[in-house]
Amino acid sequence: MATFQVRVEDLIGSVGDTQLISDSLTSAAEELVSALPKECLWVVSDNSGDQTGANYTLNRCVILNVYRESGTDGEYHTCKEVPAHYLGHVQDVNSVWYPSKSEPVYMLRNSSVYVYPVPGASPDAFQVEFVKSPSVAFGSSSIANFPDEYESVVVTGAAMKCTLRLMSDSVASVTAVPPDVPAVPAISYSNASVGDGVSAAQDVPSGNVAPTDAAGVSATAATTDASGTSSTGSTASSYTAPSVTGGAGLTGMETGVINDDTDQIEFDTWWDTLGEMIENEEDVELANAQLSKIRTYIDAFRAEVQDASAAMQASIEDARQSTQASIATAGDATRASIANAGNDTSVYTASISSQTQASIANAANDVNVAVSKMRESTGAAIQKMSLSTNVNIQNAARVMDALIQDYTLTLSRYSQELGQYQAEVSKELEESNAKFSQYGKLYDNLTKEYQRGLAIITSRFKQYDSHSQQAHS
């Protein structure tokens, strides 16, 4: 069997974070244990064995049942859970809530199970039946003490959680690098003396006018509320199988004596007594009365079985409704999470696009203003220089004009680079939106598969209990 990392990445592609995979697997396993009805968890349950102390400490566990010995070695009674605020009542012998050994109770306090009446050494020990939430590593290929058919649901749940991270990571900041602002040329000359000549271009762009604002924009990560959604499984109705008291039970035939009062109340002798009345005594009237007594008891026994079956059916229905409610709650949270993430992405994209456009427009405007002012401030000087008979002044004018032309070309290239930067930013945003949409669809599909897996598990349990009820009937 492939490792869990391989199975997860087969569903969603490379994750690039093994710790995330391990955490997601563990979280998915815990949610599965918490979401399923307790009746579905018996195959993965564990038992504490006899405990003789006042309490038993458990961490990251789901408690299925607690049993206490009745004072007779090996005879256990199921404990009923009571809230912690009943502590005073269950310790007060004068309270109506004070438990007995035949009807014990337990409560959860400080991550521990406390049983009342206070247990001790056998025959007053207690046991805890529980399911421990598994810790799953990315490099493992199976989960200890966990059904194989449940593992695929855990893998799907982990893939869902990793996909949420990938959705969040897809909303990334802009990585395109803006072009460098061209350096201001040093326009100067020697041996020229003109009163209003200039030594440098006037009002040229200063500082960094590149559109860097967009790179500083951060997006709100996609919300992950769905991963924190949990459900509470239904607690099954109490069911005690009907039984017949007496020496060997109704179906066990023992030799009885007609005139023995003891045999008349021992159920296991009724059949033999009836046979004695018919075959040996040949007393039809007494035989009919005995047969009527047996039929009456059988009818009462059948009624108890029917009542027990009805209680079990109610328990199964509670578990089914609880599971469906859990799935519905997780679905609502998931859809809200995706909607919030989509809204965050749209706001983020609009913010980056708006700021990028504004930055580029500001930079272009700065360039145009700089060139205009440069030409205006130096034009008059160049004209006067050109009219001068001084050769040095004429040469300086030509040098200045050449420098201005070169700088104009540099600014033109800069403007082109700004346009390329804008195109790169737009491309990155489009790719980010495409990835986010892709992961969103993948998350929806994984959610459906996860819910289908839960439904299959609960339906198997329902079928099992249906067959069990038919066998009792």
pLDDT tens-digit series, residues 206-216: 444 444 444 44
User: 192 phi and psi, to 5 degrees?
Assistant: -125, 135
pLDDT for 369-425, tens place per residue?
Answer: 776 776 666 666 666 666 655 666 667 777 777 878 888 888 888 888 888 888 888
| Beta bridge partners of residue 113, listed in sequence order | 56, 108
Length of the chain: 473
Q: Report pLDDT for 206.
A: 47
246: left (phi over 0), alpha (psi -120 to 50) or beta: left
Mean pLDDT confidence for 150-160: 92
Residue 446 token pair: 């994984």
Q: Report pLDDT for 186.
A: 63
Torsion of CA 339, 343, 344, 350, to 10 degrees: 160
Place of tokens 């490792």: 3
Q: Report pLDDT for 387.
A: 60
pLDDT for 16-52, tens place per residue?
Answer: 999 999 999 999 988 888 877 777 787 778 899 999 9
- Which residues, other chains included, contact 365 with Cβ-Cβ below 8 Å and sequence gap of 6+? none
Query: 273-304 burial, b for 16+ CB within 10 Å, e for fewer?
Result: bbebbbeeeeeeebbeebeeebeeeeeeeeee
How many CB atoms within 10 Å of residue 321? Answer: 12
Task: Decide if pLDDT at 173 tops 70.
Answer: no
Mean pLDDT confidence for 155-174: 85
Higher pLDDT, 377 or 88: 88
C-beta of residue 356 within 8 angstroms of C-beta of residue 425: yes
Give the three-class secondary structure for 212: coil
How far, in Å, CA of 57 to CA of 60, rounded? 10
pLDDT band at 86 (very low <50, low <70, confident <90, very high): very high
> Which region among 90-94, 201-205, 338-342, 392-396 has the lowest average model confidence (pLDDT)?
201-205
What's the mean per-residue pLDDT of the chain? 76
Task: Decide if pLDDT at 11 tops 60.
Answer: yes
- Which residues, other chains included, contact 57 with Cβ-Cβ below 8 Å and sequence gap of 6+? 111, 112, 113
How many CB atoms within 10 Å of residue 310? Answer: 12
- Which residues, other chains included, contact 439 with Cβ-Cβ below 8 Å and sequence gap of 6+? 12, 163, 166, 167, 170
pLDDT band at 130 (very low <50, low <70, confident <90, very high): very high
Q: Report pLDDT for 352.
A: 72
Task: Decide if pLDDT at 290 tops 80.
Answer: no
Q: Report pLDDT for 57.
A: 94
Q: Report pLDDT for 288.
A: 82
Q: Report pLDDT for 185.
A: 66
Identify the helix (H) or strand (E) that includes residue 129. strand 126-132
Task: Decide if pLDDT at 268 tops 90.
Answer: no
How far, in Å, CA of 76 to CA of 428, rounded? 67
Q: Report pLDDT for 188.
A: 57
- Which residues, other chains included, contact 33 with Cβ-Cβ below 8 Å and sequence gap of 6+? 41, 44, 62, 131, 133, 134
How far, in Å, CA of 203 to CA of 201, rounded? 7
Residue 51 token pair: 């405990």
In the chain, what percentage of residues exceed pLDDT 90? Answer: 27
User: What pTM was estimated for this model as a whole?
Assistant: 0.49
Task: Decide if pLDDT at 155 tops 90.
Answer: yes
Q: Report pLDDT for 23.
A: 94
pLDDT band at 133 (very low <50, low <70, confident <90, very high): confident
Which of 177-191, 299-313, 419-433 has the largest mean confidence?
A: 419-433
> Which region among 87-91, 186-190, 334-338, 344-348 has the lowest average model confidence (pLDDT)?
186-190
How far, in Å, CA of 212 to CA of 425, rounded? 11
Q: Report pLDDT for 280.
A: 75
Mean pLDDT confidence for 226-254: 46
Higher pLDDT, 62 or 105: 105
How far, in Å, CA of 320 to CA of 425, rounded? 51
Identify the helix (H) or strand (E) that includes residue 9. helix 4-12
Helix axes 4-12, 391-472, angle to 10 degrees: 120
Query: 209-235 burial, b for 16+ CB within 10 Å, e for fewer?
Result: bbbebbbeeebeebbbebbebebebbe
How far, in Å, CA of 51 to CA of 125, rounded? 5
Residue 313 Cα distances to 237, 238, 302, 306, 470, angstroms: 9, 11, 16, 10, 11
Identify the helix (H) or strand (E) that includes residue 391. helix 391-472
pLDDT for 317-367, tens place per residue?
Answer: 776 777 677 777 777 776 777 777 677 767 767 777 777 777 777 777 776
| Domain residue limits, the chain | 4-137+145-149, 171-473
Q: Report pLDDT for 163.
A: 93
Q: Report pLDDT for 241.
A: 47
- Which residues, other chains included, contact 18 with Cβ-Cβ below 8 Å and sequence gap of 6+? 5, 138, 139
How far, in Å, CA of 297 to CA of 24, rounded? 57
In the chain, what percentage of residues exceed pLDDT 70? Answer: 71
